[in-house]
Structure 1
């Protein structure tokens, strides 16, 4: 009976945990993914013990330790960092002396929504200026049917309004589509200053 139950729990927990961690849905989801991973590795270890598979047992004892470290990192340290950034964003929204803040870790992966509520794409990176004068540009990924095809575009930060958990576009889908696509491994050094607020060609160095 136990062997039969473990035979189902072990692979099911491993598959569920893999989906949770791959989703990149925040520190807590990732952390709970490692919890499920740990349950799976313990189940695999018990299965190996019952079936006398020494190599499987040793492998999953090691993976149990790794997964517990993942739980500590993502549900402990990383979750506290995420809470700290969220609180800073909330505090800044009520402060008159400083501009409102947004969390870069939350911004990357955030959906970009237009004025009508339509999803235009997902933020994949924020390019910062080394002179500490803010963002140079925001890289947005647009996905095709089924999320298979990806098109990257660089957008002026002035056209993106960040909130605590999403980003609102001040340009339409048509204007976004008119921006030149970036090569996956060749991004521009800057946006053209004369066309910073309009769709246009990107400069490359």
Structure 2
């Protein structure tokens, strides 16, 4: 019972319809019926869930991971309703899904995407303000990142620096330092743990090889 259980669920309408036709229940209901949920269960997407299912997730303190960029890129037709999840008391986090369905593993960009799509979907420009969006992106994390606050994209900073977080979320800035698990993997804008030039070359070579056979 100490293991973390990770599953991608209720991502598409087809998945939900097929589950209901086969099991007579929606995906979250079915998973609940087999005792899948604990407070260490991580559910990616949850884009097509009923209010009853939201309640199930909340009752088990399962982690519900909103992946807005991937959902849009794959044309899933819907994304998680953050206001409804929040009202149900569900524990919502942010995720990128995977590189193949996102093209990025940048949680800052994901926080921006989440804020914008939730506002768009619910016709409410106050949903997921920068502070709340940032909280969803970093909740539970012990890693550390710094950005260049002198970056022109961080201007204007506003009175008492009150626009700094909004600027970072919506405009970006150069990433300077990254520590993961206490280990420095980027310092002063330079990645320390891999050769970016060599990786870029390998990617280009792989692409050439892939398209040669198509």
Shorter-chain TM-score bucket reads under 0.3
TM-score after normalising by structure 1: 0.25
TM-score after normalising by structure 2: 0.24
Give 1 or 2: higher helix fraction.
Answer: 1
Larger radius of gyration: 1
